[in-house]
Amino acid sequence: MALGVLQGCASPDVKQALEEAKLAYQAVSSNPQVVGDAPLDVRRAEESLERAQRFASYLGNTEDA
């Protein structure tokens, strides 16, 4: 049962959400005004996206689960 629950963590919905977040981050990070006005927030967004991607890839691996 637990294996099935963990497998579901990296579902297509999660992958889609991560892709949308990646695209949103790319749009923000390529905007010089946003980067100039809020550089720390842009960096935090990048770090959060990286953590989410690592977490999703780890939970998506059924051998690790």
Q: What is the pLDDT of residues 20-58, one digit of tens each?
A: 999 999 999 999 999 999 999 999 999 999 999 999 888
* Position 1 confidence tier, pLDDT thresholds 50, 70, 90: very low
pLDDT value at 10 more than 90: no
Torsion over CA: 30, 47, 42, 9 (sign): positive
Cβ-Cβ contacts under 8 Å for 18 (sequence gap 6 or more): 49, 52, 53, 56
pTM, two decimal places: 0.70
* Nearest alpha carbon to residue 22 among 62, 43, 53: 53
Q: Taking the domains of the chain in order of start, what are their residue ranges?
A: 2-59
* Position 5 confidence tier, pLDDT thresholds 50, 70, 90: very low
